[in-house]
């Protein structure tokens, strides 16, 4: 039997698995509305745990700020003017809003940029390939979330479905953020980033399956 070290990273990984698995089981077999309403708490915990486990260089926290501001500004332009992502509005599930955009959306842009950038670092030394992989990982998660976002009261596009403009916009913003991440050689050691990305894939895949079969 391989001993498991009780360190900060492993405790953090155990916590995020506990919250995600509990959320999945609660949505599938319990009070789905209550567990969906806990999304802001879950996202906040993920972000805090990533921050306390980070081992980045001097550019790490500037990258956090850049990610948050980039996410918020582009989303505000989207909600208010229909630029970048198309015409859409946010629901109430993600909490407090600034100019129609939940603050947690800025947090989410930061979180996704950091964890996908950390994963991309392990594939190539070439910055171009790292950026492409990071963008691909971010875009894949958006493709997974978009079909169920209205059912979760996250956001909804005019006309129902997300337009091609949304995915192009996502790729452009992700390209900008990933380039900064890799250009300044920001590093996040350990496996927490991988676990966070994997859990989001599992979580939204399960919700997508339920939505397309029996509804949330």
What pTM value is reported for the model? 0.93
Half-sphere exposure of 86 (CA within 13 A, CB side): 18
Q: pLDDT band for 6, please (50, 70, 90 cuts).
A: confident
Bridge partners (DSSP) of residue 160 are 157
90 beta partners: 155
**Distance between CA atoms of 18 and 14, rounded to whole angstroms?**
6
Per-residue pLDDT at 32: 77
Of 22-26, 162-166, 196-200, minimum mean pLDDT range: 22-26
Q: Rounded to an integer, what distance in angstroms lies between the CA atom of residue 209 and that of residue 203?
A: 10
CA 173 to chain CA centroid, nearest Å: 14
DSSP 8-class letter at 160: B
């Amino acid at each position: 039997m391989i001993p498991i070290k009780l360190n900060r990273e492993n405790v953090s990984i155990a916590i995020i698995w506990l919250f995600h698995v509990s959320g999945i089981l609660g949505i599938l077999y319990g009070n789905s509305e209550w567990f969906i309403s806990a999304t802001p708490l879950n996202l906040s915990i993920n972000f805090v745990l990533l921050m306390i486990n980070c081992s980045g260089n001097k550019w790490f926290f500037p990258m956090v700020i850049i990610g948050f501001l980039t996410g918020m500004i582009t989303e505000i332009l989207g909600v208010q003017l229909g630029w970048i992502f198309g015409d859409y509005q946010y629901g109430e599930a993600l909490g407090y809003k600034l100019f129609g955009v939940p603050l947690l959306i800025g947090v989410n842009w930061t979180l996704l940029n950091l964890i996908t950038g950390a994963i991309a670092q392990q594939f190539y030394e070439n910055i171009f390939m790292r950026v492409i992989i990071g963008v691909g990982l971010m875009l894949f998660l958006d493709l997974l979330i978009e079909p169920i976002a209205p059912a979760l009261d996250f956001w909804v596009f005019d006309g129902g479905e997300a337009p091609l403009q949304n995915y192009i916009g996502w790729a452009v913003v992700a390209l900008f953020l990933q380039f900064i991440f890799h250009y300044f050689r920001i590093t996040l050691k350990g496996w927490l980033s991988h676990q966070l990305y994997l859990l989001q894939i599992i979580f939204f895949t399960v919700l997508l399956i339920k939505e397309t079969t029996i509804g949330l």
